[in-house]
Structure 1
Amino acid sequence: MAQQQPNTIRVSARAIYIDPDPVFKADVSLTDSYSDQSINKMQIDQMRAHFKKIIEDNGLSWNDIKEHPGTFGFETMGYNKEGIIYQYKTKSAENMKQFLKIKSPLIQSLNMTSNIQIDDREAEKITQMAFDKSYKQASLLAKTMNKDLGNILSVQENGSVFGKQYGVSLYYDRPPGEFYYDIMVTYELK
């Protein structure tokens, strides 16, 4: 656009927001597909009872464990054995850490996320952060060209999820509830 309109400047800006109250979620499969011969004889009800005991022995609530809510479950994993997918949800980072420490030949970790929902107040704050960054960056560039910024001519956002649930995979190098919001703003130059 800057090439089509020579008196413009286009900048991108990223706002990084950390939600203060994420919901932690982990999906695990429960099957004897990965286990040794001594456990291979377990039926699905025995596996459930074993898993429930492990959860309670680790000080966690069985009420936070639900069968995976999707239309399809373990049958899509292609092991040709019995199994079930469970989902653990909690608002406690400490409980999530405790859940992730659980080890058993029957349990295979599938997915671990922190989930947030951006409300209107947060959306306003995040967009303002992004606009402030874009303005600061554009002002600096304009100043080096001995120009002043004029009106905003266009704005593009990349991947808005405002009003939707947003999940961030849990990794050692990313804080829980982290959300990126990117915009590209074209300013008029005077």
Structure 2
Amino acid sequence: IHEVEESLTTIYTARNTSGEERVVTIEHPRRYPYELFDTSHPTESTSDKASWLLPVPARGEAALRVRERRLIERREEIRSLSMEQLRRYLQERMLDQATVTELRDVLALYGRLDDIAIRYGQLEAQRQRIYEQQTQIRGNLDVLEKEGEEGELRTRYITTLADTENRLVALQEEETALREEETQRRAELDERLQNFGTR
């Protein structure tokens, strides 16, 4: 998040020449869209002015500093936005409906690309488990006889080994489809980001 703000500082000074403490009322105009910050809380506040009571010591001075700021620019990395933030920006009229719709589409693409990356990891984990299973089966096949009960067990192992090969082929097909989808989604995302705000 990157914000650029403009701030104004006004200093009110009061001088008391009498021999007793006095309390002066300071009235400061409200300037929309500026908001007060780093300033003592006003004693009274309306839509067009804020007031403070400023004690001034006998034969002395007192000062009140009023600071105001307004947001000029706010930038957020699109990927860091949530749908809830978009709803809030729309409600607060920081963004219009067309921009929110565009951002939702972009976030959906980022979300799908994240899902694809997660699925890649899952496919690789499954592939490693299958390789381990195949290694174990091959080790068992090496010590089994081809006849009798061991022959039947050997046949079951061979069938299981063939099944693992089929599963590896299915994983490879899914990964190929995911890579194609990833390429399409990235191209769509690049296009949307390049044309953002022009639709």
* TM-score (normalizing by structure 1): 0.28
Q: Which structure features the higher share of helix residues?
A: 2
Greater Rg, structure 1 or structure 2?
2
Greater per-residue strand proportion: 1
**TM-score scaled by length of structure 2:** 0.27
